[in-house]
Structure 1
Amino acid sequence: MNTNQHTDKKEIILTGDRATGPLHLGHYVGSLKQRVALQNSHEQTILVADMQGLTDNAHDPKKVSSNILNVVADYLAVGIDPTKTTICLQSQLPALAELTMYYSNLVSISRLERNPTVKSEIQSKGFERSIPAGFLTYPISQAADITAFNASLVPVGDDQLPMLEQTNEIVRKINSLARRHILNECRPLLSKASRLPSTDGKNKMSKSMGNAINLGATEKEISAAVKSMYTDPNHIRVEDAGNVEGNVVFTYLDAFHPDESYISELKDHYQRGGLGDGTTKKILETCLQEMLKPIREKRSELLNDKAQLLDILAKGSQISREKTAQVLSDVKDVFGLNIF
């Protein structure tokens, strides 16, 4: 990998995913397509967040370790280029854990508990007061990730905005202690795509809930997922007028079908009656089968050469260790800890 590959790029982007399972269509719409485009105009690092994956999976660490290369294969299969984007492993960057420790002294428990994203996830996971300390403090860990790369732009969904707000609070505290500019504040890059619902229409698509279509899904898995998709429960007969709002099939057609005018005509037909759910599902299935086939084949090819994936991850982690070590040194200066 060319270590000088980013010299002509201006803005630094940090993004990433927890290594708790293979990536799915929700990731593709929400971030992966955007990352492929951004790598041509920005200095982009993607962090495979294995340490954060353990914050709610420490009882089953294999769930994280076994998915690290799955996630890397997903990145490459959709078009992320390791000569343009640095892909690194969180646990291989010692500066991140050390920065997390320093930052944790600047954040109160009550502030963490007020974070809307954390509150929501604590509730959804049923932790109550049994929340792992690592999970409660992962906004601090995210702040360490972002600042360690001096990232000024972070692609996120709107549910992650409180995390960036907390990162910037920490940045301001460090800069105030230093009495000079040490760290950059970051701003969000919100995805233009709507959040993709689960196939059952009840929740967002999730690795843990089993309601997602993975990027490596087989033909049979895609077919079964589309057939089970939630439509309009009141659209009982073909001749009935149907509702496209909340209809998962049409949400997916909007997200993935390349012919917008054709989908617009389908919606009109469905809403006036005479178009069955079976027909719309067949159209969607054909679309997804064609889109995912090359990704699945590329992904399979990559996973058959795990040495290549490990090499990409090792080289990206080495580059990232050097970058993050410099920021760590700057922060240790603020606390007067560089005494040798």
Structure 2
Amino acid sequence: MENRVLSGMRPTGQLHLGHYHGVLKNWLTLQNEYDSYFFVADWHAFTTHYSDKIDLESNVTEMVVDWLAAGINPNTSTIFVQSKVPEHAELHLLLSMITPLPWLERVPSYKDQQEKLRTKDLGTYGFLGYPLLQSADILIYKAGLVPVGEDQVAHIELTREVARRFNHVYGREADFEEKAEVAITKMGKKQAKSYRSLRKTYQETGDIEALNKAQALLKEQQNITLGDRERLLGYIEGIGRIILTEPESLLTKASKMPGLDGQKMSKSYGNTISLRDTKAEIETKIRRMPTDPARIKLTDAGDPKKCPVWQLHEIYSDEQTCDWVKDSCIHAKIGCVECKQPVIDSIQTELLPIQERIATYQSDPKLISQIIHEGSEKARSIAQETMAEVREVMGITY
């Protein structure tokens, strides 16, 4: 489904401004443009936190509350929990049977994360295989687009390779061509003729435009089954029936949200401002932020480029305030405490309406349970359709 987007988050702790600016704001845009599926990846939490005492039930619920408070609309987006759709695990298991081990070992994040999280024992299959579980998450919904940052593109490429391998191994039915020809006749004479012409052109000349037109023609067909449509999509390229759809990366802008120490905001670095921090907590955290080390005394000139607080001004302050900060810092006209105040005010103002909505949703736990249940049921119905196809081509229908 080219118009279907899928994305998820692990419920390993409180959401912070990095999540809000780096992920949730993007979701708010996507939910108005695509058939959007957003899920709480609770199984993925075990890949690195399997021995930690996480209150997973509370984390899952509160994460959904934060999403809703940030503006994710359950009427336009499907919100669900990974573990409530067990078909994810089934597809992951079956994909693991055909996925070469070196494919997983070469995923860049595998060694990177092992290095960053050296205090944890990550010599587990769950950690090695989590990109394949991600692949199952995506492929089971036939999502055409997956919003990712540049560091996650390798995971989507793995997903494409896994889908391609699966389709190659299982997409060639013994009577594939006969079934494809029967499916063509169901399209009607005019459409069938057009399809055959476009298929011939593509196969003889490699004309991409002919391929695109043939694919568009099939999407418009109302009188053929989903299985026939996928069979004919594969028939164009001569690769067999397409069971699992290869997704595309939907590159998102890298979050510019710095942490309290100037590094990327991350729970791992302990440098976050939570979406639920009180006004007093926000003020205390910003007040304690390090500044340009050259500014020891009020009269010492500073350089905004060497100050983590300046990075927050670039996000939260208007042009006039930024000009004031630069001039006042370079010429030692104000102290660092005064410089930090506009950032404190802006973050408090941004989080106030979100926190008010959080309180409203927290007062109605039944509504949250209902949203999760209905979203998970909708997601599962699609996952079950995909698994029925997967079992059929693998011969697991007895």
- After superposition, the Cα gap between the structure-2 partners of 1:112 and 1:152, relative to the gap in structure 1 and judged at 3 Å, is same
Greater fraction helix = 2
1:61 offset after TM fit, Å? 5.0
Match of 1:254 in 2: 314
Match among 39, 50, 54 for residue 47 of structure 1: 39
SS in 2 for 1:47: strand
Match of 1:336 in 2: 395
Aligned-residue Cα RMSD (Å) equals: 2.0
For structure 2, the residue ranges without an aligned partner over 5 or more in a row are 172-239
1:184 and 2:245 correspond: yes
Match of 1:143 in 2: 135
Match of 1:235 in 2: 295
Match of 1:214 in 2: 274
- Counterpart CA distance in 2 for 1:215 and 1:24 is 5
Counterpart amino acid of residue 360 in structure 2 = E
Match among 329, 354, 368 for residue 270 of structure 1: 329
1:169 and 2:161 correspond: yes
How do residues 17-32 of structure 1 correspond to structure 2 at under 5 angstroms?
17-32=9-24
1:309 offset after TM fit, Å? 0.8
1:16 offset after TM fit, Å? 1.1
Counterpart amino acid of residue 249 in structure 1 = V
Would you say the 8 A contact 1:69–1:303 is kept in 2? Answer: no
Would you say the 8 A contact 1:155–1:190 is kept in 2? Answer: yes
More displaced stretch, 265-274 vs 164-173: 265-274
1:308 and 2:300 correspond: no
Match among 69, 73, 84 for residue 77 of structure 1: 69
1:194 and 2:194 correspond: no
- Counterpart CA distance in 2 for 1:225 and 1:103 is 46
- After superposition, the Cα gap between the structure-2 partners of 1:136 and 1:286, relative to the gap in structure 1 and judged at 3 Å, is same
Would you say the 8 A contact 1:171–1:183 is kept in 2? Answer: yes
SS in 1 for 2:386: helix
Would you say the 8 A contact 2:2–2:144 is kept in 1? Answer: no
Percent of residue pairs identical:
36
- After superposition, the Cα gap between the structure-2 partners of 1:331 and 1:61, relative to the gap in structure 1 and judged at 3 Å, is farther
1:244 offset after TM fit, Å? 2.6
SS in 1 for 2:267: coil
- Counterpart CA distance in 2 for 1:260 and 1:246 is 19
Would you say the 8 A contact 1:29–1:255 is kept in 2? Answer: no
More displaced stretch, 10-19 vs 264-273: 264-273
TM-score norm. by structure 2 comes to 0.77
More displaced stretch, 112-121 vs 177-186: 177-186
1:129 offset after TM fit, Å? 6.7
Would you say the 8 A contact 2:48–2:120 is kept in 1? Answer: no
User: Alignment length, in residue pairs?
Assistant: 329
SS in 1 for 2:368: helix
More displaced stretch, 230-239 vs 131-140: 230-239
Q: Which has the larger radius of gyration?
A: 2
Match of 1:4 in 2: none
1:88 and 2:80 correspond: yes
SS in 2 for 1:134: helix
1:153 and 2:145 correspond: yes
1:145 offset after TM fit, Å? 0.5
1:102 and 2:163 correspond: no
Ranges of 4+ aligned residues in structure 1 off by more than 6 Å: none
- Counterpart CA distance in 2 for 1:316 and 1:181 is 27
- After superposition, the Cα gap between the structure-2 partners of 1:130 and 1:231, relative to the gap in structure 1 and judged at 3 Å, is same
Deviations 1:147-203 (A, max 9, x none): 1111111111222111111111111111222122222222222222434232122x4
- Counterpart CA distance in 1 for 2:295 and 2:381 is 59
For structure 1, the residue ranges without an aligned partner over 5 or more in a row are 1-8
- Counterpart CA distance in 2 for 1:266 and 1:272 is 10
Match of 1:323 in 2: 382
- After superposition, the Cα gap between the structure-2 partners of 1:102 and 1:197, relative to the gap in structure 1 and judged at 3 Å, is same
- After superposition, the Cα gap between the structure-2 partners of 1:136 and 1:289, relative to the gap in structure 1 and judged at 3 Å, is same
- Counterpart CA distance in 1 for 2:135 and 2:28 is 24
- After superposition, the Cα gap between the structure-2 partners of 1:321 and 1:280, relative to the gap in structure 1 and judged at 3 Å, is same
- Counterpart CA distance in 2 for 1:271 and 1:168 is 51
- Counterpart CA distance in 2 for 1:266 and 1:318 is 52
1:80 offset after TM fit, Å? 0.7
1:35 and 2:27 correspond: yes
